[in-house]
Structure 1
Amino acid sequence: MATLSAGPPRSKMPEFSRRTGYPVSSLQLYNWHARPGAFERLVPPWESIEVLEQSGGIADGARLVMRIQQGPVGVIWEAHHRDHIEGHQFVDEQVRGPFKHWRHTHRFEALGPEQSLLIDEVDYALPMGALGNFFGGGFADALVESMFAFRHRRTGDDLRRHQALSPTPLRVAVSGSSGTLGRALVAFLSTGGHEVYKLVRRRAMNPDEIAWSVETGEVEQDKLEGLDAVVHLAGEPVLGERWSTAKRRRIEESRVRGTTVLARALAGLSEPPKVFLSASAIGFYGDRGEEALDEDSEAGEGFLAGVCQRWEEATEAARSAGLRVVHLRIGQVLDPRHGAFAELRRAQKLGGASRIASGTQFMSWIDLDDVLGAILFLMNDTRGRTLEGPVNLVAPRAQTNAEVMATMARVLGGMKLVPVPGATVKTILGADAARETALASQRVVPRRLIDAGFEFFYPELDEALAMKFGVALHPEASEG
């Protein structure tokens, strides 16, 4: 849990406002906030927040209940919506939670036909009156400012992506929608105005769900008819437990068998989707030292390389039926709470880790938002639609582990004291898993995305870290 910093006593309730202009109409700006997924897109990624209940969107009477986790302590926050004026504003007000009072007004003003202003105004008070303000006021102010800096930057990024890549709404199905990447993709596409369906491995209980089963091979094929795209992200997590025989089998079968089931279902449709984007990974290339790897590079050796090859081959039924098939060879996704970067940051904060083993192994990373943008680009952009087969989803420049951890320490703060021995990593992950993940070197280049003209919003690690961890954000906005 963060340490509270003392601040000057206050005589009145704090007020915060942030105003940012965007090159879209006020209706487009309002619609982005009104669509499903907006809350998920606006939650700062460094916060651990779980939505417990949500109903009514942003209309009067809408309700949102969430749990905010701060270290071992969880706080319930319940907010109700009021004063909604369609196309212009809505208000959310805390009815229980960490603040004594919280009222947040969202306003959308037109500056011209394709120019608008987002205004966020917050009145809030800490519990315990003047004493709470004295000890926690500065801390609360910093949290609020970081949160809204992120929200306004994220809003602008998403609007810019959708304006460039979404001339018409699409109908898209997504598997793996409960995972980190899948949840983010569903929210990103929904707020952009696309019609999104979730492929679920249970009985479909909502109109936006499509049931399928890896075990039985059954799929609700009728619900797949006429879709524009299917994005297949489902798969057993690679890490989290030792690579026992059973774990290896789950890793492979969830990918190969699951992809085969979906590919055959799509191949049997009367009106199949225009594109099948199926996840793969840069594990395809194996441990390759300093060799620069693009989509024409051969497969490597090892368990993960073999799984990735068979994973990609499992789409054959869809390809043979004439669908455009794209293999998303995804790198290490930058996310503060999940995956490699979360573990590296934990090692740095708790143990002052300066590097993992020699630190010379290359890490091919990519910002989560650039993954989402690349998927939409491959789905709907005139240049992206020319691509099929393997596409590397990594940032333009891979960096060594030592470089990555030095950048993290510089941007996020922290000590660089000692390296983590390779033997320690093998003890934690298991020898095989360590060799093929944390200790493997993969210097991957996104050649096909670059050649097609895809724009990376976060090509440099320092800016991506600052955005995702809420450090030193400087969007074009004014505060009052």
Structure 2
Amino acid sequence: MNILLTGGTGLIGSYFIKKYSSQHTFTVTSRAPDKARRQLGGAVTVVKSVDEINNISAFDAVINLQGAGIADKRWSAQRKQTLQNSRWQVTEKLAEMIMAADKKPLFVSGSAIGYYGPRDAEPVNEEGTPKQRDFAVELCQQWEQKALAASEQTRVVLLRTGVVLSAEGGALAKMILPYKMGLGGPLGNGTQMMSWIHIDDMVRAIEYILHHDTIQGPVNMTAPGPVTNKAFSRTLASVLKRPHIFKVPVVVLKTAMGEMSSMLLEGQAVVPDKLRNHGFEFNYPTIRAALKDVT
């Protein structure tokens, strides 16, 4: 396939290109084209933005993973605006380009499990709706709506992504540091649910979606075994052979992170019903198997 990929230098996009470079032809957007070419290799075409794409009909699929890192900085009013604009604007632009095209490519667009809002331990599939509203809910809902504008004219898939576990960076790198210092433990009371996915299963699922035309709409990009934060931290400590004795108090997280601490202190037990119902098989269905591979 000929694929336009936004966010191609990020954790998921770069892994996808590396794994499937022989199966697909890629055009990637990056504000630093030279750096992107060095990172991704010479076979990838790099443009500064989607505004440089003159004929989106030339692509079989558009994979939209662009967006500022949700946990990179404290959520000030300015940061929230950046998180919104970096997702909403490019998604809206791509949907408009696809709708105006003679030949309309498949549109696979990013989202996150934050769509479901804070929940208890009851499993939630793609039919779930938010029980509470917060910044992440609003961010994801608007993000998805802007992509779905193209759904009457082409297949649109929304990647509701959980915590992506990778040895190359992302959330896991920040999680591991306290354990390496012998200070690992659960966050708060540790009962909040954590929905995760191994990076290899993540990109395999995207590839699977490209080739299965019956998959459309929201897709939960999470492993079938969500766990409590306490179970995750205990397993991580076991895999690393490090102590699991220091519980991080809620007040410490809220003081240090402000509103963003909700990402760590609240959660959802998200299950990938749509992927499983369409025959996708996970290589890393359990948290122990995933952590052993990426640590």
TM over 0.5: yes
In structure 1, what is the equivalent of residue 53 of structure 2? 220
Is 1:417 the counterpart of 2:245? The answer is yes
Does the 8 Å CA contact 2:88/2:146 hold for their aligned counterparts?
A: yes
Deviation at 1:438, TM superposition (A): 0.6
Deviation at 1:202, TM superposition (A): 6.5
SS at match of 2:242: coil
Deviation at 1:211, TM superposition (A): 4.1
In structure 1, what is the equivalent of residue 30 of structure 2? 200
SS at match of 2:149: helix
Q: How does 1:359-378 map to 2 (within 5 A)?
A: 359-378=190-209
- Deviation string for 1:416-457 (max 9, x for gaps)? 122011111112222x1102x111121101010111110101
Task: Give the alignment's Cα RMSD to 1 decimal.
Answer: 1.8
Is 1:428 the counterpart of 2:260? The answer is no
**AA aligned opposite 1:271:** K
2:274 to 448, 453, 463: 448
**AA aligned opposite 2:82:** R
2:2 to 171, 185, 197: 171
Q: Structure 1 residues 407, 225: CA separation in 2 closer, same or farther (over 3 Å shift)? A: same
**AA aligned opposite 2:205:** A
Does the 8 Å CA contact 2:165/2:172 hold for their aligned counterparts?
A: yes
TM superposition score normalised by structure 2: 0.92
**AA aligned opposite 1:257:** Q
Does the 8 Å CA contact 1:221/1:269 hold for their aligned counterparts?
A: no
In structure 2, what is the equivalent of residue 386 of structure 1? 214
Q: Structure 1 residues 351, 423: CA separation in 2 closer, same or farther (over 3 Å shift)? A: farther
Is 1:307 the counterpart of 2:139? The answer is yes
SS at match of 2:138: helix
- Deviation string for 1:260-318 (max 9, x for gaps)? 01111121112221x11000000001110212111001134100101100000011332
Matched residues in 2 for 1:414 and 1:340: separation?
Answer: 19
Is 1:297 the counterpart of 2:128? The answer is yes
TM superposition score normalised by structure 1: 0.57
Which has the bigger relative contact order, CA under 8 A and spacing at least 6? 2
Is 1:288 the counterpart of 2:119? The answer is yes
**AA aligned opposite 2:10:** G
**Structure 1 unaligned runs (5+)?**
1-169, 470-480
1:246 to 67, 71, 78: 78
SS at match of 2:181: helix
Does the 8 Å CA contact 2:158/2:219 hold for their aligned counterparts?
A: yes
**AA aligned opposite 2:158:** H
Is 1:332 the counterpart of 2:163? The answer is yes
**AA aligned opposite 2:265:** L
Does the 8 Å CA contact 1:174/1:186 hold for their aligned counterparts?
A: no
1:466 to 289, 292, 295: 292
SS at match of 2:186: strand
**AA aligned opposite 1:458:** Y
Matched residues in 2 for 1:307 and 1:294: separation?
Answer: 19
Deviation at 1:339, TM superposition (A): 3.0
Give the % identical residues. 33
Is 1:268 the counterpart of 2:96? The answer is no
Higher-Rg member (1/2) = 1
Deviation at 1:183, TM superposition (A): 0.9
**AA aligned opposite 2:287:** L
**AA aligned opposite 1:455:** E
